Amino acid sequence: MKRFDGKVVVITGGGSGMGKISCTLFAQEGASVCVVDINEKTAKATADEIIAAGGKAKAYAIDITNEAAVEALFDDAVATFGRLDVYFTIAGISPVGTAVTTSYEDYKKVVALDMDSVFLGSKYCIPHMIKTGGGVILNLVGTYGIRPTPNKLSYSAAKAGALSITRSVAIDFARDNIRCNAICPGFVNTPLNNGFEGEARQRFLNTYQPAPFEIQAKDIAETALFLASDEARAITGQAIVVDGGTEASLYLNYKRPSADK
């Protein structure tokens, strides 16, 4: 028997990167997967791949900042597959900017997608989970929600808010057998980081990440599988950091070459 046989999982950002591999791995573990992405083509491609491999999936092209669309998503998922067990929200944006260089319009866009959507997802998935005895909500927050980094004001603020929502949901609905955790990746080798390559990427890994390898999207997906499984039944309201040790250290203590060499 597979870990998620008979379970129904909804994953946003399912058309690429961490979202796509998460959809694939949950399906391989027996789940029926609702693949959600604003890009209809990539959402359908992920769902079609799962179905071709013998799994169950349905694609949804929606804007997760649209309240009516989010409510309809969960209603249709339950109508299609009969229940809702796991909601994993991955979709987000990560622009740069300070309090001065970020426009208010751009700030509101980031907050809408990276924080408000977390609230909307929880609001409309929880009633369905309660009806069938509980469930698991996972929110991709990232380490900047724990420690802000320079030139990332709106993203860091939105992710900090998403982490707070995660903890509130965890304590408000624990007695309904609903667990809610945040997954906090550091630098992950995904399409979101295209353009951050070559010398700049290597310098970051050498300077800030203790682990000597690039974290892959599969590392995040496998963390989600564990947190959504019964093996993690006692874990809720937590920020699970998956970053090769970056957040744990202020900096790496590499020796600089002496000035007289």
Whole-structure pTM over 0.85, yes or no? yes
Tell me the two tokens of residue 60: 């949804």
Cα–Cα distance list, 58 to 43, 126, 131, 137, 200 (Å): 9, 20, 22, 19, 39
Tokens in use for 226? 């564990």
What was the pLDDT predicted at 192? 57
Q: Do residues 165 and 119 make contact, with C-beta atoms less than 8 angstroms apart?
A: yes
pLDDT of residue 113: 94
List the one residue out of 136, 106, 132 whose CA is nearest residue 121: 136
Chain centre distance of CA 200: 25
| Max CA pair span of the chain | 72
Find tokens 């929502």 and name the residue: 165
- The active-site residue out of 155, 208, 251, 254 is 155
155 is catalytic: yes
Q: Which residues does the chain have with pLDDT short of 50?
A: 255-256, 261
What is the predicted pLDDT for the residue at 255?
Answer: 44
Euclidean distance between CA atoms 167 and 179, whole angstroms: 10
pLDDT at residue 206, as a whole number: 74
Domain ranges of the chain: 8-242
Residue 109's alpha-carbon distances to 10, 92, 99, 205, 216, in angstroms, are: 23, 10, 15, 29, 27
Is domain 8-242 in CATH 3.40.50.720, yes or no? Answer: yes
